[in-house]
Amino acid sequence: MVNEDKVCCMCNEHKKFLSRVNTGNNYYCISCIAKINKSGMKYWKPCTDVEFFESMLSHMKKGKNRKSTNMFSSLKEQFEKFENDERDDSKSTD
Ligand SMILES: [Zn+2]
């Protein structure tokens, strides 16, 4: 992939090789990537692919657990919650 119209978002320089390190649209040149990695900053951490997929996986796992629980009890829970919400609403409007 050629990024001729792109500049490194760290040094704002046109470089032959720019890469997107995270899932965002920011391009970084190799020397800046090396600099950041060497500095030990957690610069990539908030938006790395790994973190993204890990959080997605844990979400999926949670969803599975919820589904495997007794459907009737979860329905009952929902109704109870609904009733409580209604009560709260009538209280607040009073
Ligand atoms: Zn750079």
Query: Is residue 34 predicted with pLDDT exceeding 50?
Result: yes
How far apart are the CA of 12 and the centre of ligand 1, in A? 6
Greater model confidence, 24 or 93: 24
CB 2 within 8 A of CB 16: no
Query: Is residue 3 predicted with pLDDT exceeding 50?
Result: no
Mean pLDDT of the chain: 70
Query: Hey, is 69 helix, strand or coil?
Result: coil
How far apart are the CA of 42 and the centre of ligand 1, in A? 17
Degrees (nearest 5) of the Cα angle 41, 46, 47? 115
How far apart are the CA of 49 and the centre of ligand 1, in A? 21
Number of residues written out for the chain: 94
Q: What is the pLDDT of residues 60-76, one digit of tens each?
A: 676 655 554 555 666 66
Model-level pTM?
Answer: 0.41
How far apart are the CA of 7 and the centre of ligand 1, in A? 8
Q: What is the pLDDT of residues 8-18, one digit of tens each?
A: 988 999 888 88
CB 77 within 8 A of CB 71: no
How far apart are the CA of 51 and the centre of ligand 1, in A? 24
Query: Is residue 91 predicted with pLDDT exceeding 50?
Result: yes
CB 21 within 8 A of CB 30: no
Give the residue extent of every domain in the chain: 48-93
CB 33 within 8 A of CB 21: yes
